[in-house]
Structure 1
């Protein structure tokens, strides 16, 4: 599994996406699948940047691997910020209008709907968020 460690800063998002996109391109990902994965990566990364270490800062480890047939990409985000499982939050009611709906949750819902697997665990004082998507 290839790995990239960056400071949890919005300034590092472009480098994270370049890292992921290089792995996806090497695996022959379609542009549609790459776009879906990039959106999920951005959502998870930005949430870590804004919430994991506030008001301090820390590192995020991003690990990426492509394996199997059909090819499956697995991406893990590891941080040592505050324990937080975004998958525990109730899903937003998307039948309501934007004015009537509570703020938050749409990004995580989008990640859940666009990825084949979304998992979270807290282990060894680390948040570990994992997403997987078939490259078909």
Structure 2
């Protein structure tokens, strides 16, 4: 397992993406999966930056682990911010037009659609969002 701990600032999203990309390149990750993982990083890291820490800058640890059988990548985002389980967010009604749809929820919906398994826990005063993508 490899990990990076970085300030939860939106300008650090490229650093996190590059860190994960370097590891994906080592295993010859298919481009489609790589793009899906980019969407997940943008959404999860971005939400932590915007909402986890009210009046301060905290950190985010992004852990990457690979499995061989089945071949998969596991990403874990850990922060010390406000407790929040994004999996409790109701999925948006995507049959509605953007004008008719309520604001919010589309990003985590995309995460759910792009990953094969997702788990959330709040433990030791930390949010932990674990996700698996089969490659």
Q: Give the structure-1-normalised TM-score.
A: 0.96
- Report what 1:5 is aligned to: 5
Q: Deviations over 1:57-92 (max 9, x none)?
A: 101000001122331100000000000001101111
The 5 Å alignment of 1:1-136 reads: 1-135=1-135
Unpaired runs of at least 5, structure 1: none
- CA offsets 1:20-65 (integer angstroms, 9 cap, x no match): 0011111110111100011111100000000000221101000001
Q: Find the aligned partners of 2:88 and 2:71 in 1 and give their Cα distance.
A: 29
Q: Secondary structure at the match of 2:99?
A: coil
Aligned equivalents of 1:129, 1:48: Cα separation in 2: 11
- The count of corresponding residues between Structure 1 and Structure 2 is 135
After the TM superposition, which parts of structure 1 deviate over 4 Å for at least 4 consecutive aligned residues?
A: none
Can you give the 5+ residue segments of structure 2 that lack an aligned partner in the other structure?
A: none
Q: 1:81-122 CA deviation, whole Å, 9 max, x = no partner?
A: 000001101111111111111001001001101110111110
Q: In 1, distance between residues paired with 2:119 and 2:38?
A: 17
Tell me how far apart the structure 2 counterparts of residues 14 and 116 of structure 1 sit (CA, whole Å): 24
